[in-house]
Structure 1
């Protein structure tokens, strides 16, 4: 224990000796957590709409007014031909084209209906699909109101219809911040802890002090623990600051136990730091370690379910996510913070992360013994 305390004192002195590194470790994640959730917006708004209104009747103008006041569309331009409107899509000035046929109002009055054309720029498939769906929903609602008003104008009661009442559990206002902020917090903790642990042993190799440590009576597990504990503490500090920002800035208050979150975090950090130490034992300089760590951490984050649902991934990708420790923490932090899940709900996730921690750290100790 005395040897471990001496090593920890050395590591903390080394960290605090660099006056710039500690502020960067703390400040940069704070700035990222303030900015990234504002940019990672799943709501599709400000969709540029090009209109071709061949009818120019009161009812077509009323339809355009309803679309413009929805808050999702901005009517950028009105065109006289489809080819002219298509040129706007080709020049990336318009996302969707709405073409209203001639005699639109007359056909609705005489025949009871007509059809409009929606053409979307599908280069951005998500924006095109969601935007076209929004527009179709608005037009469908407008069509229903026309039918009701028409029947009432003739003194008839509307045909009975089914009204839908919906409720959104765990995020009643469908606020995307509630979904993104916990996941981004996991990402920042992973990046800070993983990269700092990766560079630690490599720096000892580059400055030559690793040879002095190797000939000292320090045991291998003591040496690796001395490297792991300081960044384990820093990871907890970064997470704590992130929780404070989530509460003060985004109004996200954990519904579940904060102690349970910290229990999972403590074990998760051991796993991530063990991975960083493992990478550092295989690499000879900081450039190599940065590239290797960046390769794996980016895969961990992009395939964690942070930005896209794991269930929507192809089967082979879902299989890979089972071996991704970030996936489990992203799921757990959302379960605890948004749903109020308890220990029984995350027990399997906790056991899996314990397995990752044992695997990565055990491998790091074994490899370091062989190469030292």
Structure 2
């Protein structure tokens, strides 16, 4: 224990002596957590739409007003020419075209149905899908309102009127940041853990101090623990700072116990730090360690369920997420922060992460060859 204490003193002094590492550890996560949630947002707004109204009826005006009042669409052009609307699409002034036929209100009243034409600019597939879905939802809601008014006529039975009230659980305001911030916080903790740990032993190799350590009676596990514990502590500090920023700037208050989050994070950091140290033992330069770490982190992020739902991935990609530690921590963060889950709800993820930590750190200890 005395040897380990001296190693920890050395590591902490090296970390706090290097101001660039301190900026990476503390300043980078703060800036990213303040910026990324505003950019990483799949909720589309300010979608430009061109409307071709051949009907000019009260119903067509109500529909247009409902679309523009939704907050998702901006009426770019109001025209009676389809060719002109195509010019708006070609010049990227509009994302969607809505054409209302001349007999829109007449057919709706007499025949109980009417057709609308919607054209979507699909160069940006995500924007096209979401914009089209928003527009169809608004049209469907408009249709429901019209039908509910007709039900009040004496020729219909008033008992057919059905009121539907929706209730959104866990995120009642449908705020996308509540969904993204916990996941982004996991990525930042991962960067601090695996990226910096992967540079640790390699740096000792490059400056030659690894040879001085190798001739000492320090055991391999003591050396690895001395490299792991400082970044483990700093990772938990970064997590605490991130949770504070989430509450202060985004109003995200964890519905669950913070001890559950920090307990799982402690084991998670052991796993990613073990991965970083494992990379460090197999590489000879900091450049090699950085490239390998960046490669693995990119895969972890893309297959972690942060931006894309795991259920929508192909089967082979879903199988890869089973060996991705980031997947489990993102899932746990969202469960605890949004749903208020306790330790009993995340015990399976906890045991899997404990397995990752034991395997990766054990591998790191075995792969480090100490030569006297």
TM over 0.5: yes
Instruction: Check whether the contact 2:151–2:161 (CA below 8 A) recurs between aligned residues.
Output: no
Q: Distance in 1 between matches of 2:107 and 2:318?
A: 51
Classify 1:291/1:54 alpha carbon distance in 2 versus 1 (closer, same or farther; 3 Å): same
Instruction: Check whether the contact 2:197–2:231 (CA below 8 A) recurs between aligned residues.
Output: yes
**Aligned residue in 2 for 1:247:** 247
**Unaligned runs of at least 5 residues, structure 1:** none
Secondary structure of 1:249's partner? helix
Classify 1:342/1:223 alpha carbon distance in 2 versus 1 (closer, same or farther; 3 Å): same
* TM-score normalised over the length of structure 1: 0.94
Q: Distance in 2 between matches of 1:42 and 1:285?
A: 39
**Aligned residue in 2 for 1:217:** 217
Deviation by residue 1:68-120 (Cα, 9 ceiling, x = unmatched): 11111111112343233223223322111101112333333444432110111
Task: Kindly report which structure 2 residues correspond to 1:11-90, keeping only aligned pairs within 5 A, or say none.
Answer: 11-90=11-90
Q: Distance in 2 between matches of 1:126 and 1:158?
A: 43
**Aligned residue in 1 for 2:102:** 102
Q: Distance in 2 between matches of 1:322 and 1:189?
A: 20
Q: Distance in 1 between matches of 2:141 and 2:5?
A: 69
Deviates more, 1:299-308 or 1:234-243: 299-308
Instruction: Check whether the contact 2:321–2:327 (CA below 8 A) recurs between aligned residues.
Output: yes
Q: CA deviation at 1:141?
A: 2.7
Q: Distance in 2 between matches of 1:335 and 1:149?
A: 42
Classify 1:61/1:371 alpha carbon distance in 2 versus 1 (closer, same or farther; 3 Å): farther
Deviation by residue 1:226-263 (Cα, 9 ceiling, x = unmatched): 11111111101100001111111112222222112111
Report how many residues are paired. 371
Q: Distance in 2 between matches of 1:348 and 1:109?
A: 57
Task: Kindly report which structure 2 residues correspond to 1:153-172, keeping only aligned pairs within 5 A, or say none.
Answer: 156-157=155-156, 160-172=160-172
**Unaligned runs of at least 5 residues, structure 2:** none
Aligned CA-pair RMSD = 2.0
Q: Distance in 2 between matches of 1:297 and 1:363?
A: 19
Deviation by residue 1:284-330 (Cα, 9 ceiling, x = unmatched): 11111111000001111111111122122111111110100111111
